[in-house]
Amino acid sequence: MTERDGPDSPWIQAGRLTFLALYAVTVLAALAWAFSNVRQIDPQNRAVVLHFGALDRIQNAGLLLAWPQPFEQVVLLPAADRVIERRVENLLRSEAAIQADRVASFATPLSDALAGSGYLLTGDAGVVQLDVRVFYKVTEPYAFVLQGEHVLPALDRLVTRSAVALTA
């Protein structure tokens, strides 16, 4: 057995140090993953915890202890007493129509598609332009999480339909 093949050879020592470094990195990564869903919930928020995709519990402000993903997923929502403001963009004049207004003249009128953008015709043949802001609260967090990305477009459609019905 030569000095290069012995238990204290440089290659064995380098392999041992590499193994220990990789072991330490793996342990640190495992600890970071294990505590990834331990978080502070701010007073203006609350959290809905999904356990394997099923609604499990609601956590108000404070320290949240949850299993890491994929076991539990945490969705942050506004607190129950928080009022959220949303500006409805569907009723506003589009950017293309605003740009066309700047360059339009009697020689080059607006296209019909852009001319009516942002205006509503009332029942007495008047024309109005609305800038609507909706204020809402999340009272049922489970339903809000289940609907997910469909809530805000549905709110926009509801407000637009109400505005059309109001002006007609």
* pLDDT (tens digit per residue) in 80-130: 889 999 888 877 777 777 777 677 766 666 666 666 667 777 788 777 788
- Full DSSP string of 32-59: HHHTTT-EEEPTTEEEEEEETTEEEEEE
Per residue in 12-69, pLDDT tens? 889 999 999 999 999 999 999 999 889 999 999 999 999 998 888 998 889 999 899 8
Type and span of the H or E element at 64:
strand 62-64
Kindly give the pairing relationship between strand 133-136 and strand 84-87: antiparallel
Per residue in 126-135, pLDDT tens? 777 888 899 9
**How many CA atoms are closer than 13 Å to the CA of 50, on its beta-carbon side?**
14
- Measured CA to CA, the distance from residue 43 to residue 63 in angstroms comes to 11
Give the residue carrying structure tokens 């342990």. Answer: 27
State how far the alpha carbon of 168 is from the alpha carbons of 6, 113, 158, in Å.
93, 21, 15
- Measured CA to CA, the distance from residue 159 to residue 133 in angstroms comes to 9
- Measured CA to CA, the distance from residue 24 to residue 18 in angstroms comes to 10
User: For the whole prediction, is pTM greater than 0.85?
Assistant: no
Percent of the chain with pLDDT over 90: 33
